[in-house]
């Protein structure tokens, strides 16, 4: 296998928006790795609609509202966050930077938010915890093994390394039709140490990686995880009220609305189109996390106003990692926070609680 050489940068980034980040990262990340990170499934219809869907709602400006210096911070469970913007789980950060998840975790921790480590990380949970710091807020995204003995070991490792939630990904029991990977003949050049007991990662296609994990997921799997840990279990990949009910009834203590960034089922709904329905079904019984398509502060605002407790970003943070290391990741999070604060003031909202009470209007 050809040696995989990627970014070693640790610097401030000169960028205006997330399009700049995407274009810059394409020049730094090797073609196969960039194609894996950037692209989506099939004709990219759902991938593109994830961003377009936000335009179906508008934010009517609020004036004479006595607002100045909006506060983006939130208290979530036992954590104080700089903003309700967290790191979504993304596989193999080492594709974008030699320090991989270590620098991502450091950047997110420096910003003051939650880092969600993927089962398919290119770094151990021990190293991720050390990089983020002992007081870092970290969650663990779980692809279950077909062997519950291995599952028990992985859960125990996550708990031992300070994970404050287990996020079961339920929408990726096999890989979507990712044509960029096929064109690039992409196979993983890096190991996956967290799941080494059932998948090495090196030399494998993404489809092979997914197929090595458990495919036949059911409510009993949520029940199993919940019975083997005291930390909250979130179900990630929920896009309908029915699946929200099923998840909560199985013991989930959090719901994650996402379509995997448009990387799984092309032709499905944009994630934002599903958010309000799912949030209404949950009805405050559990936190709702949202991702897929967040590229602007106004997108975060609209998601929060539509029922999300937290919003998560993936690709933009990985682009920041490639272009600027830990510093770049922190910059990207500050970009979203600053844009969110600007939108909050123009909308006449002082706090995140105000945003959650804000009523969006359908676009003309």
Residues with a catalytic annotation lie at: 260
CA 8 remoteness from chain centre: 23
Which pair of structure tokens corresponds to residue 182?
């096929």
Distance CA(114)–CA(127), nearest Å, equals 16
Q: Any known ligand binding at 293? A: yes
CA 228 remoteness from chain centre: 24
Are 59 and 302 contacting, i.e. CB atoms less than 8 angstroms apart? yes
Q: Any known ligand binding at 356? A: no
Distance CA(359)–CA(364), nearest Å, equals 15
Q: Any known ligand binding at 260? A: yes
Degrees, nearest 5: CA angle 237-238-244: 150
Which pair of structure tokens corresponds to residue 227?
């019975």
Distance CA(332)–CA(110), nearest Å, equals 12
Q: Any known ligand binding at 90? A: yes
Helix (H, G, I), strand (E, B), or coil: what is residue 8?
A: coil
Distance CA(226)–CA(118), nearest Å, equals 19
Q: Any known ligand binding at 236? A: yes
Q: Any known ligand binding at 143? A: yes
Which single residue is written with the structure tokens 């939108």? 343
Are 214 and 150 contacting, i.e. CB atoms less than 8 angstroms apart? no
Q: Any known ligand binding at 306? A: no
Q: Any known ligand binding at 237? A: no
Q: Any known ligand binding at 315? A: yes
Q: Any known ligand binding at 141? A: yes
Q: Any known ligand binding at 47? A: no
Q: Report which of 253, 274, 249, 270 is spatially closest to residue 261, judged by C-alpha positions.
A: 270
Q: Any known ligand binding at 91? A: yes
Q: Any known ligand binding at 296? A: no
Q: Annotated binding site for FMN: which residue ranges?
A: 89-91, 118, 141, 169, 236, 291-295, 314-315
Q: Annotated binding site: which residue ranges?
A: 36, 89-91, 118, 141, 143, 169, 178, 236, 260, 263, 291-295, 314-315
Q: Annotated binding site for glyoxylate: which residue ranges?
A: 36, 143, 178, 260, 263
């Amino acid at each position: 296998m050809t040696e995989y050489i990627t970014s070693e940068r640790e610097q401030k980034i000169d960028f205006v928006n997330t399009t700049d980040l995407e274009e810059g990262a394409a020049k730094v990340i090797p073609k196969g790795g960039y194609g894996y990170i950037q692209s989506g499934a099939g004709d990219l219809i759902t991938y593109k609609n994830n961003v377009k869907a936000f335009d179906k709602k508008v934010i009517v400006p609020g004036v004479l509202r006595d607002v100045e210096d909006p506060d983006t911070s939130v208290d979530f469970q036992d954590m104080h966050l700089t903003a309700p913007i967290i790191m979504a789980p993304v596989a193999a950060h080492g594709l974008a930077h030699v320090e991989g998840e270590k620098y991502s975790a450091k950047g997110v921790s420096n910003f003051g938010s939650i880092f969600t480590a993927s089962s398919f990380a290119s770094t151990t949970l021990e190293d991720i915890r050390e990089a983020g710091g002992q007081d870092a807020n970290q969650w663990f995204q779980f692809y279950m093994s077909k062997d519950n003995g291995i599952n028990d070991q992985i859960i125990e490792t996550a708990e031992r390394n300070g994970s404050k939630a287990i996020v079961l990904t339920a929408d990726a029991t096999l890989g979507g039709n990712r044509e960029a990977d096929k064109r690039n003949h992409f196979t993983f050049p890096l190991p996956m140490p967290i799941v080494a007991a059932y998948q090495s990662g090196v030399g494998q296609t993404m489809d092979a990686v997914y197929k090595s994990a458990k495919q036949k997921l059911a409510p009993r799997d949520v029940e199993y995880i919940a019975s083997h840990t005291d930390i909250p279990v979130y179900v990630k990949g929920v896009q309908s009220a029915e699946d929200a009910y099923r998840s909560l009834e199985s013991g989930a203590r959090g719901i994650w609305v996402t379509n995997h960034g448009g990387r799984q089922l092309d032709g499905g709904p944009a994630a934002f189109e599903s958010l309000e329905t799912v949030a209404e079904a949950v009805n405050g019984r559990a936190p709702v996390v949202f991702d897929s398509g967040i590229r602007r502060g106004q997108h975060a605002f609209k998601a929060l106003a539509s029922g999300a407790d937290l919003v998560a970003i993936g690709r933009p943070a990985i682009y920041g990692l490639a272009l600027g290391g830990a510093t770049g990741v922190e910059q990207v999070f500050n970009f979203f926070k600053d844009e969110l604060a600007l939108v909050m003031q123009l909308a006449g909202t002082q706090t995140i609680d105000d945003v959650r009470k804000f009523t969006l209007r359908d676009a003309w």
